[in-house]
Structure formats: C-alpha cells, structure tokens
Structure 1
Amino acid sequence: MYSVDKTNFKKYLVNFPHQIAESYKIFKQAKISLKKDKINNIICLGMGGSAIAGDILSDVLFDSLTLPLKVNRGYGIPAYCTESSLVIASSYSGNTEETLSAVEAARKKKARIVAITSGGELLSLAQKYKWPVLQIPEGFPPRQAFGYMFFTLYQLIGKMISLDISEGFFNNLVHKAETIVYRCNEETASGKVFAKDLALHIKNKIPVIYSSDPYLSAIGVRWKNQFQENSKSMAFSNVIPEMNHNEIVGWELENECLKNYLVLFIEHENIHPRINARINLTKNIIRDRSIEVMEVYAEGDTPIEHVLSLIITSDWVSYYLALYYEKDPINIVNIDYLKGELKKQS
C-alpha cells in the first residue's frame, strides 16, 4: 500500500508535533512585541495553506480577539488598511505572487508588517524594509507546514492580547498532538485506525464536509483542501447554520449522481443547542436521500485543542485516501502546471 508514497510524505504527518515545539522556539527567538493600543485591525495576507492558518486562528480566537481580523486572499488590500493596521504576510515559499503584490500595497499605506515565511522574495523584502520576521524551516510542502504557519501566528496575536503562550502550554499541545498521531499511524496504533477506516469509507465517493460556526467554520475548508491536494479527490465544504439557508435545498435533487456523495459532519461537544438541532435535522434530510453520513468529533476541551485534533486527523485521512487511490500525496500536477504557464505570461 505504501509503494505510491515515493517521497515518504508520511514523515510530515508523523513529525507534526515537532512543528508545534519548534514554533514555540522560533517565536521566542524572534522577540517580536506588538502594542495592541496602536492597532485597529489585523489583515492576514496569504493563499492556500498559508491563508488557512489565519482562517482557523479567527475561529479559535472568536471569544478572545476584540480586533477585527480579515484573511486577505488576492493581489490587493482593503481600503481600510492604514498605518494603524497590522498586516501579517504569510507565504511559506516567500514567492506567492498574490501575497507579494498585497504586501507591497500595504507597505505603501505604511501599515505595520510582519512576515511569516521560509525564505524567498518575502524574506528579502522583510530584510530590506526591516520588517519583523518569523522565519520557519524550508523543505516542506506548504500545506504540510501548517504547524509552523499556525502556531507562530497564534503566538504573534496571542502575545498581543495576553493569551497563554507559555512553554507549558505548548508542551501540553505537543503531548496531545503526539497522542493523536500515534493513534492515526497504523504502524503505532493498537487496534483499528479510525483515519484509515474513514478513508476507506470515502474511497470512490465525493466527500461533502459540514462544520459549524463559529469555532469550526474553517476546519471544513482545511479537510476539503487536504482531500483535493493530498488525495487528488474532488471535495466540497460548507458551514452550519449558513448552509441551512441555501445548500440544503440542493439535496432535493432527483438524480442518480447523489449516490456519489458521502457527507461528513465535523463536530464538537460544546456546541450551541440550536446549531446542534440544525445538525441533527440536516443529517435526517440527507439520510432520507439514502446518502451515507459519517461523523468526526473533535477531541479536547478548548477551541485550539479541537482544531488541533481535527487538523491532524484530516492529514491522515487524506493521506490514506491518496494511497487507496494509488496517488503519491506529494504531487500537485495541476498547480505546478498553472504556475509554470503563468510565469511564462508574466
């Protein structure tokens, strides 16, 4: 089964807890200090795996962050970006053209800029203009550098709003991550491996992922993206309660194609009772169409522990699904083609 993993992609999944530990050291060594009273809004620039860290951070800090935070995907920046804005330019490679364009626009507006990158042009710009940098290790597929991208960002904002970012806090997260990885890895797990079983259920189906607002609204996007990039599988996601006002009607379709879908609900125990009622009713509607419904529950007691467990699980499920499809999870042929063609036209 593992012969298709020619580059040992699995090592990125096994070593995810190490990214958390290293992120703590990277931030501590950077010695970045931000004063909240001089910042009116936060704008996270990024695309793909670099942007999803900002989306998930916004969910995790829903009850803590009193400043508006926008994840900005694209070449420009919003008009409200000023010298009172904190702009966090995140690009794992440092060469993401949309992020480089947007950070230049932010520089011209005299925004306060911090860079999170492994190198490339963004690092060069940061050194030129003396922006603070959280420099993370090179050599990872950007989507599998999530631990570095997220936990450096978490500390940057966390320090500003007085969250617990102590070594003890991070050691606890590392321990929880190690436990989940141990259970997801069939070489170390005892008994059945949930992530592998779930991948087998999803095989030959198109997964539709539903998560709930506000604490898990972005996690469905992460699962969708991991299925797409790692497994080379089409996937879709939406959020409850929003999908109850539009997409839910789509399940009324009278067509054989509905049999191709598998619906995955990503949940946690501390959910708003009305959202819980909506989830149960939505499951009933979908099951009445003879569509398979499965559930994944977050582990832990806090929003950050919830997303930690779900991020790790999504990595392993998408990895096993890639192997079932006999696809090397490292390859992203269409993205590489697109970037190559765009470069010819620049």
Structure 2
Amino acid sequence: MTLDDIQPLDTGRMYDLIRQFPDQLRDGRSRAQDVPLPAALDDLDHIVVAGMGGSAIGGDLVRTLVQPTAPVPMTVVRDYTLPAYVGPGTLLVASSFSGNTEETLTVLDEAARRRARILCVTSGGQMLEIARNEGYPVVQIPGGMPPRAALGYSFAAVMTLAERLGLAPADAAAWDEAMALLEAQTAACADPAGNEALDLARTLHGKLPVVYSGPGLMEAVNLRWRGQFQENSKVYATGNLFPEMNHNEIMGWQYPGAVHALLAVVVLRDRGDHPRIRRRLDVTGRLLGDRAASWTEVESRGTAPLARLLSLVNLGDWVSFYLALLQAVDPTPIPLIDALKEAMQA
C-alpha cells in the first residue's frame, strides 16, 4: 500500500487527522490549563461527564485513569436524563464536539435546574452560546473534523481538568513518556508500506472483530476500538470484558459453526491487568483460540498508565483506518448516522 492508494479513498483526510493525535493532545492540554474551575474538590461529591459517541469516550478514558486515585467518583452519562444523585455537589462536564448534540444539551439544561456546577468542552454551536450566556467555564477546542477524530483534544482537556481538580496527580514525566511513545508509534503506523496496524487490519479483513480485554485501564480502550471499527471501517464489531466474559459469553463458543468462522478476536492486554485476569486471558485463549477465524493479542506499551492507555487508543485508530481502506470504503463519512439525524429532526 502507498500514499497514492490512500488518497482517492480518504476524501475526509482521516489519515492526517490520526497523525495529528500527539499534537491534539498537546493543544487540548494547553487549552484546559487556565480555564476557571467552577468548584474546588472539597465542595464536590461527584464528577459527571455528559456526552455521546466521540465526545463521550474521552471522559471514559479519563475515568479509567483516575479511578485508582480519585477521592470522589467519576461517571459518564450517555443519555437524555441524569441520575438522581446529580445536584449542587456535582460537577457536570458537558462534552459536545459540535455543541449541538441533543442528548447532551438536554442533560445540560437538567443539570442547571438541579444547580450542579457546570463546565463545557465544545468547539461551538448551541453549547458555546449557552455557556457564554450563563457564564459557564468553557474549554473551546477546534472544529472542522469528525468528533471521533478530535479525541486528542477532548481527552486531554478532561484529563487536565481532572488533574487540576485533584482527581489524579499532574505527572509531567508521564505526559512526556506518552508523547514520545505516540510520536514514534505514529511515525511507524503512518508508513503504508508496512506496519503493525496494517498487518492486524489484514487479519481482520472480511471478518467480524471481537474485542476482549480486562476491566480497569483497558475498559474504555476496548470500547474505543469497537467504535472505531464501526464508524471508520464500517464493520459490525462487538466485545466484552474479563472476568465477566468467563461467566456467560464463553458458552457461546461451545459449538463452533459458520458464525464462529467469521469472528476475528483481538485481545487487548496491559501489564497492569490483575494476575487472575492475565491467567483468565491465557486460559481462555487456549480454550477458544482455534474456534475463531483468528485470535490476536496486543499488549499496551509504556510504563505509566497514561502512555499504556494512549498507545492502544492510537494503535486501534490506525487499525480501523487501514481496515476501511482494505474494504475500499472512505473512513470519514457516516451516512447511516446522518440519515438517522435527519429522520429525528423531521
């Protein structure tokens, strides 16, 4: 594969957007450094990130990173309504790339009625207008790209806010490690002549991806891989988390048939996985590996959790991009989502 092969299919320049991931992280972090916080941590009993799709996944990734250190819980809401516990002691981070996501705008209005503290992350639209009218602090990020391709901005903004609140330590060395790792990985995966992302995409081509991982740090990475296969590659993808998979889904592999011959399993592994999770992944691979079309394990890279998480997020984006090209589809357009939005507005 060459760049000349990529350009006719990649009309939305997803290749360039994925290459910009390290730069997005730097810019998103910078944009969130000086935004006023609506409350101190001592005044809060809960942090809620409200968003959908590409605007929500950044919150999920941050949630898994801060979980071991955060003194108050952090949750992500993908809905039109808020849980009953949201009130004056809640910080709501409303994340909408376009600023026009109807679910998030509905939740924003409800949070205001409940007197929650509010901060917005958006590129514009109605959310930016509301924030300016109501005096909500805003991390304004650049527009002009698909929300899923702006993850570097949304993740870095929310993670920086979490550090400033005290949900996790602000670790400059961890950020430096992550950026150096991502720069090297991006340079390698951007070479269409051959790289590990393209190799994995070839393994998945013509199959249905099944993404397995442990919980904790890999939970949201698992979700990101599936979402990118669905939106970029236009393939149906599913997955599950261990150990839960071992308590039910494993029995769906008992009698291999025509469906199983289409399933290409990708196991996301991390050095921080609980020893019993690692054992379960090993044993399950031995039991099921020959029942699937393929069984591939991918290990996170780096030392600190931040680098390990982002290494697999970025790799998954590249795999989904190359899988789209192998299927001769443009990774950027999302016609069924566009059609659904039009129908909902009718």
Normalising by structure 1, we get a TM-score of 0.95
Q: Is the 8 A contact 1:26 1:136 kept in 2?
A: yes
Structure 1 match to 2:287: 285
Structure 1 match to 2:11: 6
Q: State the Cα RMSD in Å.
A: 1.6
User: Deviations 1:194-243 (Å, cap 9, x if unpaired)?
Assistant: 00000011000101000111111111110000000000011001101111
The number of equivalent residue pairs is: 341
Structure 1 match to 2:273: 271
Structure 2 match to 1:121: 126
1:161 aligns with 2:166: yes
Structure 2 match to 1:302: 304
Q: Is the 8 A contact 2:38 2:119 kept in 1?
A: no
Q: Is the 8 A contact 2:256 2:291 kept in 1?
A: no
Measured in 2, the distance between the counterparts of 1:328 and 1:272 equals 39
Measured in 2, the distance between the counterparts of 1:168 and 1:287 equals 38
Q: Is the 8 A contact 2:12 2:333 kept in 1?
A: no
User: Deviations 1:246-274 (Å, cap 9, x if unpaired)?
Assistant: 11111113421210011110001232111
1:178 aligns with 2:180: no
Return the offset for 1:37: 0.5
Q: Paired residue for 2:323, among 321, 324, 329?
A: 321
Identity across matched positions, percent = 36
Return closer, same or farther for 1:203/1:337 CA change in 2, 3 Å cut-off.
Answer: same
Q: Paired residue for 2:110, among 87, 92, 105?
A: 105
Measured in 2, the distance between the counterparts of 1:68 and 1:126 equals 25
User: Deviations 1:146-191 (Å, cap 9, x if unpaired)?
Assistant: 011111000111111164436665444322221110111115x8xx
User: Deviations 1:26-67 (Å, cap 9, x if unpaired)?
Assistant: 012424364111000011100001111111111111211121
Q: Is the 8 A contact 1:24 1:167 kept in 2?
A: no
3-state SS of paired residue (1:217): helix
Q: Is the 8 A contact 1:36 1:161 kept in 2?
A: yes
The amino acid of 1:256's aligned partner reads A
Q: Is the 8 A contact 2:24 2:152 kept in 1?
A: yes
Measured in 2, the distance between the counterparts of 1:117 and 1:16 equals 17
3-state SS of paired residue (2:163): helix
Measured in 2, the distance between the counterparts of 1:234 and 1:295 equals 20
Measured in 1, the distance between the counterparts of 2:167 and 2:340 equals 42
Measured in 2, the distance between the counterparts of 1:266 and 1:293 equals 11
Return the offset for 1:303: 1.6
Measured in 1, the distance between the counterparts of 2:115 and 2:39 equals 16
Return closer, same or farther for 1:337/1:314 CA change in 2, 3 Å cut-off.
Answer: same
Structure 2: runs of 5 or more not aligned: none
Return closer, same or farther for 1:29/1:167 CA change in 2, 3 Å cut-off.
Answer: farther
Counterparts of 1:164-243 in structure 2, within 5 Å, are 164-165=169-170, 170-186=175-191, 192-243=194-245
Measured in 2, the distance between the counterparts of 1:174 and 1:34 equals 30
Measured in 2, the distance between the counterparts of 1:21 and 1:174 equals 8
Q: Is the 8 A contact 1:33 1:159 kept in 2?
A: no
Structure 1 match to 2:313: 311
Measured in 1, the distance between the counterparts of 2:25 and 2:243 equals 32
Measured in 1, the distance between the counterparts of 2:167 and 2:241 equals 30
Normalising by structure 2, we get a TM-score of 0.95
Measured in 2, the distance between the counterparts of 1:319 and 1:161 equals 36
Counterparts of 1:46-65 in structure 2, within 5 Å, are 46-65=51-70
